[in-house]
Amino acid sequence: MPELAINGGPAAAEALKLPEWPRLTETSRQYVTESLESGRWCRTTGGEFCDRLEEAFAAYHDVETAIAVSNGTTAIELALRACGVQPGDEVVVPSYSFIASASAVPCVGAVPRFVDTDPETYNIDLDHLEEVITDRTVGVVGVHFAGYTMDMDRLLPIIEEHDLFLIEDAAHAQGSEWRGEKVGTFGDFGTFSFQESKSLPSGEGGIVTTDDTVLADRARTMANIGRRQGTVDYYHHFLASNRRLSELQAALALAQLEKLDDENRIRERNEEVLLAELESIDGIATKPRDDRITARGYCIENFRYDADAFGGLHRDRFIEALVAESVPVSEGYQLPLYRQPAFYRNEVARFLPRGTEVPDYPNLHLPGTEEICRTNVTYSHKLLLADEAGIRSVAEAVRKIRANVDELLE
């Protein structure tokens, strides 16, 4: 076996060539040019691309309504407000995710309650969810992490039993399905991000989906400074922020949506190849196969690393060695969300009614989440757009490190 690249040997994954991302297609260029030349760059001046994006996104998800917004974070905040969250309410949130999945809750005046993570799926631990719910809990924000769908068969009965709202944070999951139904359609709202790293990017941007006409009307007005959709007068029905998406970003997102399924099919096919390779390596744990997940969307993907199987080599040193072999991986989210300084009591309390009890978040101990923070290895959806030789070279790089691990332990 050749010497490890980190020690001067040749990289095992030189064949791995990732595509440029985001991809600028001719359709993207055409739509943006049309929007630019129209002179209607803001939706309120009569542009058409926000309307076209909403119609196409709703049709793609087979829902009644999609509402384009400025980004994925405001999408979650909008959904919480439209669901009627009141100051001091409690909302259950994931403990392993991008911060917006949880920070949106105190930003609307409510108290986040962190639920543990299932280390096999990276989604919320549904056994722990039932323990976290209290008589002050009004809803749940759940993430389809890395596009791997939450177990909706178990989650929805819990939501119904406790009379809670459900917001599906599908920022990672454009195109994922559970039993043939697109995610973002099971709860009261689905929320999506079009940030540049996502598989459906427009630089910044987001969208919410719902089949509830009352919630949809409320959300549209809340996204438009309290104005009714389509009006440009100065009559505002209630206090609300401006969460509108620009016409230029909508044009870009619409073009990206049109190629999403083709790219996801490539990613899913390549992931099958990669999983088959990685599953044969002792010390590498991939997510379980679940036939109820009938299609996958992607943003990132993950596997867990067992240091004991690599002679006690620390996960961070393993990542360093794998990067040297030309495999672009990282540790992902470094901290449980409840350990982030943003969730210290004095920070959260600034957003809540005076006297609201704020949990001592940094002293929480959620074992599943903390296991993932120790063992996780993350790679981008871009890796799954490489050719088959490049995909297989990822596993070859892992095998090379395992075979030469003594070089790293000296």
**Which residues carry out catalysis?**
198
3-state class (DSSP) for residue 159:
helix
Degrees to nearest 5, angle at CA 297 with 281 and 138: 110
Name the packing angle between helices 247-258 and 260-278 (round to 10°).
60
Where in 174-272 does DSSP place strands (E)?
177-178, 181-182, 189-193, 206-210
Backbone angles phi, psi at 336, to 5 degrees: -60, 145
- Tokens 């944070």 appear where? 169
Q: Cα dist. 389→130, 234, 386 in Å?
A: 45, 59, 8
Residues 6+ apart with CB under 8 A from 310: 283, 318, 401, 402, 405
Residues 6+ apart with CB under 8 A from 46: 40
Residue 321 host element (H or E): helix 315-324
Beta strand ranges found along 35-130 (DSSP E): 65-69, 90-94, 111-115
Whether the bond into 22 is cis, omega within 30 of 0: yes
Separation of alpha carbons 299 and 285, rounded Å: 19
Cβ(158)–Cβ(132) below 8 Å: no
Which residues make Cβ contacts (< 8 Å) with residue 26, sequence separation at least 6? none
Letter for the amino acid at 218? R
